[in-house]
Amino acid sequence: MGNVSNISVKDITNLAKYTYFRTMRFVFILCLIFGIILIIPVINQSLDSLPYYIFYTLCSFLMLFIIPFSYFLSMIILKKKIKKEKLDQGFMYKYNFKTDEFEIESTSLNKQEKSVRKYGEILKIVKRDNCLYLYITKRQAFILRYDGFESENEKIKVIDLLDNLTKV
C-alpha cells in the first residue's frame, strides 16, 4: 500500500497552525488569566501609586498581546524557512506501508531523503478534512494527503492499519 502526497505551502502552513495552537493551548490560557488578573486593579483604579499603575498596565498588556505576537512571529519564521528550503517550488512525500514499518521518501527541489519508521514511533494521528497528520514528536508530523491514494479502498485500509498498529 502506498501514497504519493504532493505537499503545498498551504498544507505545511495548516500543519504548523494546528501544531502551534495544540501545543500552545496551556500558554494561551495562562497568559489570558494573568493578563486579566493584572488588569483588574488598573480598571478598578485601586492602585495607590503611579509606578504600580504603570507596571500593572504594562504587564497586563504584555500578557494579552504575547499570544497574537508569538503566533505571527512563528508564521513569519515558517515562511522564511519555506523560502530558504525552496519548499514553495514543490515538495512530495512517497509513503510505502508495510506490515511493521513504513518508508517515507521526501523530495524537494534541493533535497531528497529516505527514511524508515516503525509504527510504534507515531505518537498521535490527527484526521483532518483532506489529510492525516502522523505525529512522531510533539511538534513534528508527516502529512499524508487523502488524494495521494490510488483508491478510496486503499485509503481506508491504510487508516485502519495505522489505527491498529500505532500506540495512539
- In degrees and rounded to multiples of 5, residue 143 shows phi and psi of -100, 120
Domain tally for the chain?
2
Query: What CATH number should be reported for the domain holding residue 125?
Result: 2.30.29.30
Per-residue pLDDT, 141: 87
Instruction: Tell me the whole-structure pTM to 2 decimals.
Output: 0.70
Shared domain for 44 and 69, answered yes or no, is: yes
Please count the other Cβ atoms lying within 10 Å of the Cβ belonging to residue 14.
Answer: 17
Give the list of residues 6+ apart from residue 80 with CB closer than 8 angstroms, or none: none
**Strand, helix or coil for residue 132:** strand
**pLDDT of 90-133, one tens digit each?**
678 888 888 888 898 988 777 788 989 988 888 889 998 888 99
Question: Span 146-165, mean pLDDT?
Answer: 87
Distance separating alpha carbons of residues 9 and 119, to the nearest angstrom: 26
C-alpha cell at 83: 523560502
Contact 90, 108 (CB under 8 A): yes
Domain of residue 102: give its range.
2-8+89-165
Q: d(Cα 167, Cα 156) in Å, to the nearest integer?
A: 19
How far apart are alpha carbons 130 and 144 in whole angstroms? Answer: 9
142 to 7, 69, 87, 95, 107: CA distances (angstroms): 10, 27, 15, 10, 13
Share of the chain above pLDDT 70, in %: 90
Domain limit, last residue, from 26, 61, 85: 85
> Rounded CA gap, 162 and 168, in Å?
9
Count of CA atoms in the C-beta half-sphere (13 A) of 62: 7
Could you tell me the strand order of the sheet in which 124-127 lies? 124-127, 131-135, 141-145
Residues 78 and 102 in one domain: no
Q: Are residues 55 and 109 in the same domain?
A: no
